[in-house]
Amino acid sequence: ICDLGTNAEMAFISENTVYASSVPLGPAVEGMNLSCGMTAGDGAIISASGIYPRTDYKLYSGSKALGIAASGLADIFSILIKTGQIDKSGKIANGDSSADGEKRIYLKDDVYISQKDVRAVQLVKSACRSGAEILSEKSGCIFEESDNIILAGSFASSVNSSHVFSLGFFPYAEKTKVTVAGNLSLKSAEYSLLNPGYADELKEFRKKIQFISLTDDASFEKKFYENISF
């Protein structure tokens, strides 16, 4: 299970043991610090489908695209890479140049992806993938052999899960059932209000968790550079 936001909180749950860790991703997966990033609101692109430039963009609400919400990022990047607008190294191969010479890919209305945005998503992807690989190695749990993978958090709220894997956020898990669960923090808070004994259950559950530090691991930096390409 992984909650994708400013941090990626991830865990392997195996019988009576939970191996958990966290790796910082930064604000890009929240839709922030991107040229046209925004929270899910009026005019926000929350998903995309099709082949660029014949792409269909779904807006959270409204009729004019004003920016890109976190949940639309994986769809957009998957389409742009698949159609050759962005190459595997992260370079914008086709696009328009801004006044300062930076490459841009215009999506809809005045909304675009810049070269700087591509680099930001690359860093996020590499950090998540590297953390997942180290957690897998240290716990002995293997992604490809997992029965279920649950993706949660703002980034995975309405994303096409296949795009998360094709971009390389996690090792590919072809035969594993993948569930996009939305905001599990909110669901857990709601459940605790309706079930008075839930907090005590969580205290007992915490005793099963073995925390594994990822960023202190000597191999993290090496893996980070190895995983930087799409």
Please, are residues 88 and 82 in contact by the beta-carbon 8 Å criterion? no
Q: What average pLDDT score do residues 86-109 get?
A: 90
pLDDT at 214: 79
What is the tens place of the pLDDT at every residue in 183-215?
Answer: 888 898 999 999 989 989 999 999 999 999 876
DSSP conformation letters of 107-160: EETTEEEEHHHHHHHHHHHHHHHHHHHHHHHHH---GGG-SEEEEESSTTSS--
pLDDT at 98: 83
3-state secondary structure of 56: strand
The proportion of the chain whose per-residue pLDDT surpasses 70, expressed as a percent, equals: 100
Which is higher by pLDDT, 223 or 158? 223
Average pLDDT, the chain: 90
For the whole model, what pTM was predicted? 0.89
| CA separation for the pair 130, 222 (Å, rounded) | 9
